Amino acid sequence: MGNLTSPGIDRRRFLQGAGLSLTLPFLESGASKAMAAVEPIRNKRILAIGNHLGFYPGAFFPKEKGTDYVSSPTLKNIEKHRKDYTIFSHLDHDSGGGHGGVNAFLTGVRKQESNGFPEKNVSLDQIAAEHVGSASRFPSITAGIGEGTDMCWTRTGVRIPPVNSPARLFEALFVQAPKSERQVEGERLTHRGSVLDALRESAKSLHGDLNAADRDKLDQYLTSVREVERRLQMSKEWLDRPKPEPGIKPIADEDRMHIEEMPLFFDLLTLALRTDSTRVATFEIPLGFSTTDLDGVSYGYHGLSHHSKGEGKLTELQVAEDYIFGQVNRLFDSLKEAKIFDDTLVIVGSGMSDGSKHSNKDLPILMAAGGLKHQGHVVSPEERNKRVPLSNLWLSALQWFGVERDGFGKSTGTFSGLDFS
């Protein structure tokens, strides 16, 4: 966390101990001391990082498969962790090309085709968040630079925009509002809950007078109401519970959309996971943001993605992607230092493979940590009739997290190329 750490606070000691007070309640008897000596429950976590424009395939994928591959130019930035991650080739969602396919990265289903699916285009993180429920303050945290990649979606097909201000994220995680403000917020939640009750009862009274199509629409509406109710209830449960101490200085609010915000966001998400403020987090790298602050880069990120294999732009694109994976390397270091690396499944990838071609085939996918026995470079069949859906990998990830389900998106089963047991 570098210069973010407050004077007098040892970063390593803080990260190792910050979450304990959240998991062990105070007991008036001497049982607290006995419990403190017991190994705490190791909660599983998911952190997904998505880049709208993908990663240049020629620099991302290794040429060899298995564990003895030679690191590609992009993966050299995380070489020190190579035993702790797996790269996947030939996985995608079998969707059409263009930016519209990017929203299917964590869902397996494009927004445009979601009406035919019972869960629409719900994203992996939101299924995991439903599983967590109110066990943590935030069922999930969506963060990102700028407007994000349209990566996170509810089961009713509603996009969840990312928190794009580090200051706002810091405040939500660590700043306790005054009691008077919390009382007002509690009243607002109660009032909104009563309105939802009235809407739900009115909707039920109409059910018998509707045709099949309208009943389906009404059921979707009631599902949306239940989703709002669930989120409201969790908000009320956590309203008066103390927030953890961050161990870093408050963050000033600035209007910015630069790639160099990434380490600050990664620090905050590491703290959020470590303090059990959430167990599900996502980070979105959007279509357009500034990369010109990086040495040797003169184009914005979107401009670099349209490289047409021009040597100059590819060189600058590699600088930008080196920076991104340099921060991923730093994130892995921080998760290990916080002793939550083996309990956190980290996904890095995109719903687009090559921004210059606007292709959604052969997506760049990397999965790290999670206590898995990683396999280096896993190459799935390239032939169309043998291809493995990326949703199979997402289904296995959800089962690893503890979610009991037999399908997700367009999955045809679990993923057999990596042991999630």
DSSP string, 306-339: --TT-HHHHHHHHHHHHHHHHHHHHHHHHHHHTT
Same domain, 268 and 196: no
Which residues have C-beta within 8 Å of that of residue 130, sequence separation ≥ 6? 139, 155, 230
How large is the angle between the packed helices 311-337 and 262-274, nearest 10 degrees?
A: 30
Choose one of 189, 213, 241: the last residue of a domain: 241
Is residue 188 in a domain? yes
Q: For residue 150, which of 50, 257, 289, 264 has the smallest C-alpha distance? A: 50
- pLDDT for 238: 67
- pLDDT for 317: 79
Q: How far apart are CA 157 and CA 112, in angstroms?
A: 10
Is residue 168 in a domain? yes
User: How does pLDDT run across 343-381, given as a tens digit for each residue?
Assistant: 999 999 987 777 556 667 899 999 999 999 999 999 999
Helix (H) / strand (E) element for 4: namely none
How many Å from the N-terminal Cα to the C-terminal Cα in the chain? Answer: 33
- pLDDT for 26: 37
Q: How far apart are CA 106 and CA 367, in angstroms?
A: 13
Same domain, 197 and 158: no
- How distant, in Å, are the alpha carbons of 110, 118, 153, 217, 343 from that of 115? 10, 8, 14, 11, 35
Is residue 386 in a domain? yes
Please determine, for residue 97, whether its predicted confidence score (pLDDT) is greater than 70.
Answer: no
Radius of gyration of the chain (CA): 22
Average pLDDT estimate for 191-217: 67
Please determine, for residue 222, whether its predicted confidence score (pLDDT) is greater than 70.
Answer: no
Q: For residue 44, which of 163, 107, 135, 108 has the smallest C-alpha distance? A: 135
The neighbour count for residue 179, using CB atoms within 10 Å, is: 9
- pLDDT for 114: 86
Same domain, 189 and 201: yes
| 65-74, 127-136, 300-309, 350-359, range with the lowest pLDDT | 300-309
Is residue 26 in a domain? no
Compute the residue count for the chain: 421
Please determine, for residue 55, whether its predicted confidence score (pLDDT) is greater than 50.
Answer: yes
Please determine, for residue 386, whether its predicted confidence score (pLDDT) is greater than 70.
Answer: yes
- pLDDT for 245: 79
Is residue 309 in a domain? yes
Same domain, 193 and 323: no
Q: In which band, very low, low, confident or very high, does the pLDDT at 13 lie, cut at 50, 70 and 90? A: very low
SS3 label, residue 89:
strand
- How distant, in Å, are the alpha carbons of 250, 261, 304, 331 from that of 298? 32, 18, 9, 26
Query: Pick the residue with more confidence: 99 or 335?
Result: 335
Same domain, 397 and 351: yes
Same domain, 353 and 306: yes
Choose one of 208, 241, 274: the last residue of a domain: 241
CB 260 within 8 A of CB 266: no
Same domain, 214 and 324: no
CATH number of the structural domain spanning residue 316? 3.40.720
Q: How far apart are CA 340 and CA 344, in angstroms?
A: 6
Six token digits for residue 130: 């439903």
Q: In which band, very low, low, confident or very high, does the pLDDT at 165 lie, cut at 50, 70 and 90? A: confident
- pLDDT for 84: 97
Helix (H) / strand (E) element for 47: namely strand 45-51
Is residue 37 in a domain? no
Choose one of 224, 241, 258: the last residue of a domain: 241
Q: How far apart are CA 247 and CA 2, in angstroms?
A: 12
- How distant, in Å, are the alpha carbons of 23, 43, 44, 338 from that of 39? 11, 12, 15, 16
Same domain, 111 and 168: yes
Is residue 348 in a domain? yes
- pLDDT for 111: 86
Same domain, 169 and 263: yes
Please give the residue range of the domain that contains residue 273.
42-175+250-401
Q: How many domains does the chain have?
A: 2
Same domain, 145 and 255: yes
Select the highest-mean-pLDDT range: 65-69, 97-101, 225-229: 65-69
CB 323 within 8 A of CB 294: yes
Give the residue carrying structure tokens 């008897």.
29
Burial of residue 216, with CB atoms counted within 10 A of its CB: 0-12 exposed, 13-18 middle, 19 or more buried: exposed
Q: For residue 345, which of 372, 363, 376, 377 has the smallest C-alpha distance? A: 372
Same domain, 169 and 189: no
Same domain, 348 and 375: yes
Is residue 20 in a domain? no
Residue 311's φ and ψ, nearest 5 degrees, are: -60, -40
